[in-house]
Amino acid sequence: MTLPTGLTPGVWLLDMSHSEIGFTVRHAGISKVRGRFTDASAEARVRESLADASLHATVKTASFDSGDANRDGHVKGADFFDVEEYPEMTFRATSAEGDGEDYTLTGDLTIRGITKPVELEVEFTGVAV
């Protein structure tokens, strides 16, 4: 799989001032809640082929922001993220598929010490050096 335009082999770090880790989840089965995490770090090791690349990301769970202070407080509490006990969640990609701007990263997501396989949709909009 070829690399996205502008992405060259090497080590790339996430720049949170120009990036966003967003999410959309269903709430009560009838509406969607959109939000983001505002504090994260990530390192991508890119090789000649995207199939040989690796990615590891760490997200600070206390940076959860859905735009509703009451909901955010509940999600950060013991019922969900339990940010006091589990201040970080991690993602380690095991494969990538896609082209252009749209990619699917398959990997292992660890939240509250529990690791599960997931697929994450990623939009690559370019690089700045």
pLDDT value of position 109: 97
- CA 7 from centre of chain: 18
Cα torsion 14, 62, 58, 123 to 10°: value is -50
Adjacent-strand bridge partners of 59: 40, 89
Mean pLDDT value of segment 65-71: 96
Which residue would you say has higher pLDDT here, 116 or 127? 116
Predicted local distance difference test score (pLDDT) of residue 129: 64
Calculate mean pLDDT across residues 70-84: 97
Alpha carbon distances (Å) from 91 to 40, 57, 69, 122? 11, 5, 26, 13
Q: What is the pLDDT of residue 116?
A: 98
| Architecture of the 10-19+37-63+83-123 domain | Beta Barrel (2.40)
pLDDT band at residue 17, thresholds of 50, 70 and 90? confident
Alpha-carbon distance 93 to 53, whole Å? 9
Q: Where are the domains of the chain?
A: 10-19+37-63+83-123
The pLDDT value given to residue 18: 84
